[in-house]
Structure 1
């Protein structure tokens, strides 16, 4: 099973991402879930909305493809036939990447909809990404060349512009997706497999889905019949308002199994407004890197539950430091909104008007505090706000060197930052802390994702400059009855907090 953006239907392309449409049949059980009998017909609504939905086609030049221009057949992910055909095509060309490999034109199809009668059209970014030419076909088969106004890969949206001349375009309004309830009827019109003007219907299956597609995931889920070519198509409510933009599916093979996702209008509209006005998105920014709380972390800082976002690092030049935010704070509320999950905070901050002063409720030193922060503008290429952890296999390090300390009951062996270790792990001369040289695979440290090369720079919010500092912190934690010790850990990929279990063996 995999999650895929519902890309365009591709003709002559080596890659295809499935498209999104809504359920093509209306069952009695769905009618009951929607809270009432099925409408006798969607015909009047479809007739009204059809002229607002467009087909989008793109052309892209692909250079240097192996196989003399032959196509790679589409296989399920992991199929042994995929590797077989890849090798066959490379032999036909004489090997991949040859300078004399021919270029070719690849065309693809997607969906979009008109949001302004002057010619503004919304679609997914992945529909038009890397396109050399973009064309828009209206419901009456009139075709226009389109220009790209702006695009946002993070939310997967793009705005196009056509010059309709004397042509009268039918624009559709956005609705309030926050009011959409699970079980509400929805309607979609799109371009599956190039069949323009296809109308399908279903319900909202769930809300606020995070499918790891981007930093601001908040998808509406629908019982969708997913088909290629519906990317960028609108999801309408029963009033004929756009409440979502169809974007992704879950499918074992790329075809429909009835689980699809749409970008909610509440997330899309501010992005689209910025793209139209500025050609880019101006997002709010606090200048903090955050991570989620686990049970051990929450207990360590005295929180009664795991709600909130743990501040892993505050940018010294960002708005957060001016507001008084510090490393180790837990953000509980932002501008009156509860941070029930870590991932909520980046979206709330990004959607806040630049320059607005907001209240930020934090947890620090065992109690709540309220700070005032003036939201700044996110830099063009900021570091990701969410700090992702993870587990890896733990290679063993050599033992017996000077400055090495094994801390019983933790699974950790640590060392001072000697010149040899700095060179081995790529640590510059200015960095302070101690380095992890070994992690026992059956330990709590391994379960928390610690690995050789990680730098421990703080323990219980106190600087760690020598292995003995960590040993002392562990001893004090155990004497106080603490179940874990909060470490601040850094490596070239991330900076995060880790609640190191102080009991023997791996946690169950």
Structure 2
């Protein structure tokens, strides 16, 4: 299975053609309207739509219904098409999606949408344009990128534009099975809408840097090349994530879709606003998740945790004295493991039950901060203090 960023390889001559959506069993009761606030921005305006009503009239409760037509009608104007190219007219570029996140003309998208290449050190496109649903097309500045989590922040001049600002949902607002809507420009078909559900939460997907992006959302809503950077919206019209990539065995859009969670996107945007880029702490270990049968086979002393399988030389974990594997590779069930490494079960009293937990907990600290890891070494508990480093651009080799 190959993860494929939902990106269009070259710019085509496109004609904006917003979809005319038919009713999907929606509630046509116009008395159920969302609160809308509009403020002047230059000669244009900025509209913020509060929580939309759901078809069953409920709150964000279990089993609520979704109305794609209402979501598109109210919020589609806040979703844009992003065209990126090199510095000259002969340079090829790409096409993706994005959405308005502030009254100042800030646009959120994926880092790979505005990068000339799929590597962590690929240059940012020399020319970027944002096209709105109302056919306005304006130049944009790339404020900065977070290559670790595939997030970019753009800035346009909002003067004379009528913007629709989308709002982020909280971490507690996403649940497996909840209905969602994706809006974007798959294959250049602008303002396209697809509907699905949240298939899973807390997924881990690989970024161009080689580090994993954790806390990702898996969805069965159709996400194809060109959807990258567009919003994944819940039934209330709140952004729960940025559509980022698909995992496919065929090389096309038939596969599993993933979105970067709103929590991760907001954290990245905050850092980009402050310094033009994002910086994250670095522990310097590679791990696998522990399960009961694995723990028994290798006498790990705990049936949960993140079992260290590699420690890059000179990294924070290595310098702190964390133990990596010390024996030959052994086959167990369908995988190969290297025995001898520490099993991390907590960081500063925050539990670590899986490898994904380890990444999520570490990301909550700052580079340079000293933390205490609780590990099992040789089946016995031990505390190890580690001074976290700054995550390098690409994953170091062990």
| Offset, 1:154 | 2.3
| Offset, 1:199 | 2.6
> CA 1:168/1:12 → structure 2, altered by over 3 Å: closer, same or farther?
closer
Summarize deviations over 1:262-301 as a string: whole Å, max 9, x none. 1111222212211221111111223x32332676676445
2:92 match: 106
1:133 match: 127
Summarize deviations over 1:72-101 as a string: whole Å, max 9, x none. xxxxxxxxxxxxxxxxxxxxxxxxxxxxxx
SS in 2 for 1:11: coil
Give, in whole Å, the separation in 2 of the partners of 1:215 and 1:203: 23
Give, in whole Å, the separation in 2 of the partners of 1:208 and 1:290: 18
Contact 1:7 1:229 in 2 (8 A): yes
Summarize deviations over 1:243-265 as a string: whole Å, max 9, x none. 11101113344444363111111
Bigger fraction of residues in helix = 1
Among residues 286, 291, 294, which one is paired with 2:287 in the alignment?
291
| Offset, 1:205 | 1.2
Give, in whole Å, the separation in 1 of the partners of 2:289 and 2:136: 54
Structure 1, gaps ≥5 residues long: 14-23, 63-102, 385-492, 495-508
1:277 match: 274
| Paired residue total | 329
Contact 1:109 1:127 in 2 (8 A): yes
> CA 1:355/1:210 → structure 2, altered by over 3 Å: closer, same or farther?
closer
> CA 1:302/1:318 → structure 2, altered by over 3 Å: closer, same or farther?
closer
2:142 match: 148
2:34 match: none
Among residues 301, 304, 308, which one is paired with 1:303 in the alignment?
301
The 5 A counterparts of 1:402-481 are: none
Using the size of structure 2 for normalisation, the TM-score is 0.71
2:265 match: 268
> CA 1:315/1:223 → structure 2, altered by over 3 Å: closer, same or farther?
same
> 1:182 aligned to 2:170?
no
| Offset, 1:134 | 0.5
SS in 2 for 1:175: coil
2:311 match: 313
Of 294-303 and 51-60, the range deviating more from structure 2: 294-303
| Offset, 1:312 | 3.9
Among residues 94, 106, 118, which one is paired with 1:120 in the alignment?
106
| Offset, 1:365 | 4.2
1:196 match: 190
> 1:50 aligned to 2:76?
yes
> CA 1:253/1:290 → structure 2, altered by over 3 Å: closer, same or farther?
closer
Summarize deviations over 1:210-238 as a string: whole Å, max 9, x none. 34444224321111223332110001112
1:246 match: 243
Among residues 201, 224, 230, which one is paired with 1:227 in the alignment?
224
> CA 1:44/1:284 → structure 2, altered by over 3 Å: closer, same or farther?
same
> 1:237 aligned to 2:234?
yes
Give, in whole Å, the separation in 1 of the partners of 2:378 and 2:262: 39
Give, in whole Å, the separation in 1 of the partners of 2:198 and 2:23: 14
1:341 match: 354
> CA 1:262/1:315 → structure 2, altered by over 3 Å: closer, same or farther?
same
Contact 1:117 1:168 in 2 (8 A): no
Give, in whole Å, the separation in 1 of the partners of 2:354 and 2:135: 46
SS in 2 for 1:218: strand
Contact 2:10 2:94 in 1 (8 A): yes
Alignment RMSD: 3.5
Give, in whole Å, the separation in 1 of the partners of 2:312 and 2:131: 48
Give, in whole Å, the separation in 2 of the partners of 1:347 and 1:373: 16
Contact 1:9 1:110 in 2 (8 A): no
1:11 match: 11
SS in 2 for 1:257: coil
Larger relative contact order (CA 8 Å, sep ≥ 6): 2
The 5 A counterparts of 1:36-47 are: 36=63, 38-39=65-66, 41-47=67-73
> CA 1:210/1:147 → structure 2, altered by over 3 Å: closer, same or farther?
same
The 5 A counterparts of 1:74-93 are: none
Summarize deviations over 1:425-452 as a string: whole Å, max 9, x none. xxxxxxxxxxxxxxxxxxxxxxxxxxxx
> CA 1:191/1:36 → structure 2, altered by over 3 Å: closer, same or farther?
same
2:201 match: 207
> CA 1:51/1:253 → structure 2, altered by over 3 Å: closer, same or farther?
same
Using the size of structure 1 for normalisation, the TM-score is 0.57
Give, in whole Å, the separation in 1 of the partners of 2:189 and 2:112: 19
